[in-house]
Structure 1
């Protein structure tokens, strides 16, 4: 999942609104600016110079490739590993296009303009921008809620592919898993698909699970994780705890402890483990995502291993393992004994 998230934030809308990756793919190979413009629907007065300047930056960042045609001298633009993640047409899975659309939604962009105000006086950038937190906003705005859920769901396949392949034995002796904050159920469905013996429970706010499709082996339950979590052999949380402050995370983890069997249950946390000085493929991206949490969630943050250790110990999970997988987040196994 090696896509420049900063670039997608600044250039994602035009890439996807114009469907440039899909246009190139349809042609079956690199094409000229003129051919790209011909493939753009609803373009009454196309500006080739404008397109050329956009593509120049995207080529520099390796979102597209560029080569000179031998016969005409025109520059031909092709897909790269990164732009293939932005395909949207049928048969183009997996795709991160819904995530890019969600991250560039005006609702998500507005809080970034309040970060300097947060430095001066504290508080939540999202609340300053919209007058309520992201969860309250999603409840009252179905269109944004739909975009948010689609963005989260599209990451499930790519992330869970890395998790399932790198955490093979972790699901072997588990009869049931409750995915807390599981959205529309894509994550738990990927687990059940790979481990059919597992009874999957997708648990999220009622208005979220109301939009969840039916997956074989998965039961949808609506509720509030701060009140009670359904019983299961293991609790899974993917990109949930990074939304909350340490104080709120401890409350959530305490509810997790009550949901699993005493003495043999575990909590499986799929989250970024920050390495601020790391040189790994995902380490810089983790820092960018941390800023995203700063802009979006009140108290949310990515955490380093020492910060995870402190949080888990304070929540009553003295023992943990970190398993690195081929994905942006890692798997953190947490045990209450």
Structure 2
């Protein structure tokens, strides 16, 4: 009979496997907090509140307080919420916000709540269960799970399309702030128009134009996406296919677009961008993750998670290292580029046609 190891290293290894096995519990508790608007309830009260106060505000005549207590216990452990002892001495725990839970406020201008609901929706979780089949047989995980690729699925399912667009729109607002603060001189030098390729409902280009009103904004995406876009001052919505042609502009920007596509597709999209901008003065701004497998920065682990997200939801896309980005840019006719750090997970890759 094989001896069972009892060393500290072995026990630590076992515990780590248990933690990874149940890591989905964290995201499900997070989703529950967003669905119940727990952060918003606490925020509305103006400070920490008791469990009974929280339960009475979730909109249910008979809330499961014991369930809520256990979910909050985990979220406090993960530092999503804070717990305090009641100063009145009655022994009750008070729950408050942290720097993390403020990103769950659904009524806040900057919130990750729509993205949490999107990424943890059963339709978007299903492709993750197809990874082993993808390894064995190839194919697209989303198509294996749902019979069609994500873009076609969104086209035929309005509710899913809204869920998807809302999730991307909230990240656009957050990243737009980071881009604007980290690329001030770059936008000042654009003396004309800027086209957001794959711009969704236009949140990113709107934030840029609000900060730099001398720029004429063009939001470019597929017809079914642009049709749901609100009107913004200084922004024109243009529908089309980025694989066919991109509207002429003085510069182009793409946020989390190229990671959805294969290297070959990226070269095609970038080549069309090159044809759309002036050869001597034009530039393309690519906001994407740069993978650093051995990196120690705060967001390096998240970059690797994003890469697996591309297996789950994209059409052959992936996150890339700097070497991989350089190769794609050169093949598309962009021999010169800069990498600019911004206060967000992605970087700005500033690419020039000469």
Smaller-chain TM-score bracket:
over 0.9
Aligned to 1:193: 210
State the structure with more CA Rg. Answer: 2
Relative contact order (alpha carbons < 8 A, sep ≥ 6): 1 or 2 greater?
1
How far off is 1:313 after superposition? 1.3
Deviating above 4 A after TM superposition, structure 1's stretches of 4 or more consecutive aligned residues are: 5-8
- Paired with 1:51 and 1:7, the residues of 2 have a C-alpha distance of 14
Aligned to 1:37: 55
- Paired with 1:31 and 1:160, the residues of 2 have a C-alpha distance of 33
Aligned to 2:45: 27
Pick from 216, 229, 238 the counterpart of residue 255 of structure 2: 238
Alignment: residue pair count: 330
Q: Is the 8 A contact 1:162 1:327 kept in 2?
A: yes
Aligned to 1:177: 194
Q: Is the 8 A contact 1:66 1:76 kept in 2?
A: yes
For the aligned residue pairs, the C-alpha RMSD in angstroms reads 1.4
How far off is 1:271 after superposition? 0.6
The superposition leaves residues 95-115 of structure 1 with CA deviations (integer Å, 9 ceiling, x where unpaired) of 111111111122111111111
Q: Is the 8 A contact 2:200 2:220 kept in 1?
A: yes
Aligned to 2:166: 150
Q: Is the 8 A contact 1:12 1:101 kept in 2?
A: no
Matches of residues 293-332 of structure 1 in structure 2 within 5 Å? 293-332=310-349
Pick from 227, 249, 252 the counterpart of residue 244 of structure 2: 227
Where 2:100 maps in the other structure, the secondary structure is helix
How far off is 1:298 after superposition? 2.1
How far off is 1:288 after superposition? 1.2
The TM-score, its normalising length taken from structure 2, stands at 0.90
- Paired with 1:119 and 1:11, the residues of 2 have a C-alpha distance of 30
Q: Which runs of 5+ in 2 are unaligned?
A: 1-22
Pick from 27, 50, 63 the counterpart of residue 9 of structure 1: 27
How far off is 1:164 after superposition? 0.8
Pick from 75, 80, 101 the counterpart of residue 83 of structure 1: 101
Report whether the alignment pairs 1:100 with 2:135. Answer: no
Pick from 116, 127, 130 the counterpart of residue 132 of structure 2: 116
Where 2:220 maps in the other structure, the secondary structure is strand
The superposition leaves residues 224-283 of structure 1 with CA deviations (integer Å, 9 ceiling, x where unpaired) of 000010000111111100000101101111111110112221111011111122221211
Q: Which runs of 5+ in 1 are unaligned?
A: none
Q: Is the 8 A contact 2:30 2:75 kept in 1?
A: no
Pick from 122, 147, 165 the counterpart of residue 181 of structure 2: 165
Report whether the alignment pairs 1:130 with 2:142. Answer: no
- Paired with 2:50 and 2:227, the residues of 1 have a C-alpha distance of 45
